[in-house]
């Protein structure tokens, strides 16, 4: 791979001075590079999504919240599914399986509530006063 190859939409793969951030693009999930190393903050991904510092903070925070919402929803759904299976097992006389499934549902419900607490209190809106 060359230092100045092209991405799928013509965005450069890498150029001198760019720094891989280890952060993913909030729009496509691809790798994000800082355009100018430590001189300024300006970001782009492989397919050409570009972000100013403020836009990067805002879009990343939005994606973060969406991801937490998905985690909460999937965790709550998993708890509901375990409860459904526990009830099914109970009606068929599988009391040990029903008890185990109910315990797993309890843990999942607890986890969903903790995720809700974190999403509601631990995340603050992005703050950026730069350019
Ligand atoms: Zn992207």
Q: Tens place of pLDDT for every residue, the chain, 131 residues?
A: 333 444 444 444 555 677 889 999 999 999 999 987 666 789 999 999 999 999 999 999 999 989 999 999 999 999 999 999 999 999 999 999 999 999 999 999 999 999 999 888 656 655 666 65
Q: Where are the domains of the chain?
A: 1-51, 59-122
| Residue 19: predicted pLDDT | 83
107 CA to centre of ligand 1 in angstroms: 36
Q: Please list the helix, strand and coil fractions of the chain in percent, rounded to the nearest 5, in that order.
A: 50, 15, 35
DSSP 16: T
71 CA to centre of ligand 1 in angstroms: 22
61 CA to centre of ligand 1 in angstroms: 15
| Residue 123: predicted pLDDT | 60
What distance, in Å, lies between the first and last C-alpha atoms of the chain? Answer: 34
47 CA to centre of ligand 1 in angstroms: 6
Which residues place a Cβ less than 5 A from the ion ligand 1?
A: 25, 27-28, 30, 45, 49
CA distance linking residue 9 with residue 59, whole number of Å:
21
119 CA to centre of ligand 1 in angstroms: 24
| Residue 6: predicted pLDDT | 42
48 CA to centre of ligand 1 in angstroms: 6
């Amino acid at each position: 791979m060359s230092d100045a190859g092209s991405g799928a939409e013509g965005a450069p793969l890498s150029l001198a001075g760019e720094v891989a951030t280890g952060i993913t693009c909030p729009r496509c999930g691809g790798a994000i590079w800082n355009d100018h190393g430590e001189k300024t903050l300006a970001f782009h991904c492989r397919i050409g999504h570009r972000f100013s510092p403020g836009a990067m903070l805002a879009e990343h925070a939005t994606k973060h919240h969406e991801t937490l919402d998905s985690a909460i929803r999937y965790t709550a759904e998993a708890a509901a599914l375990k409860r459904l299976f526990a009830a099914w097992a109970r009606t068929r006389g599988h009391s040990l399986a029903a008890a185990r499934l109910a315990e797993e549902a309890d843990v999942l419900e607890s986890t969903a509530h903790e995720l809700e607490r974190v999403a509601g209190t631990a995340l603050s809106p992005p703050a950026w006063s730069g350019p």
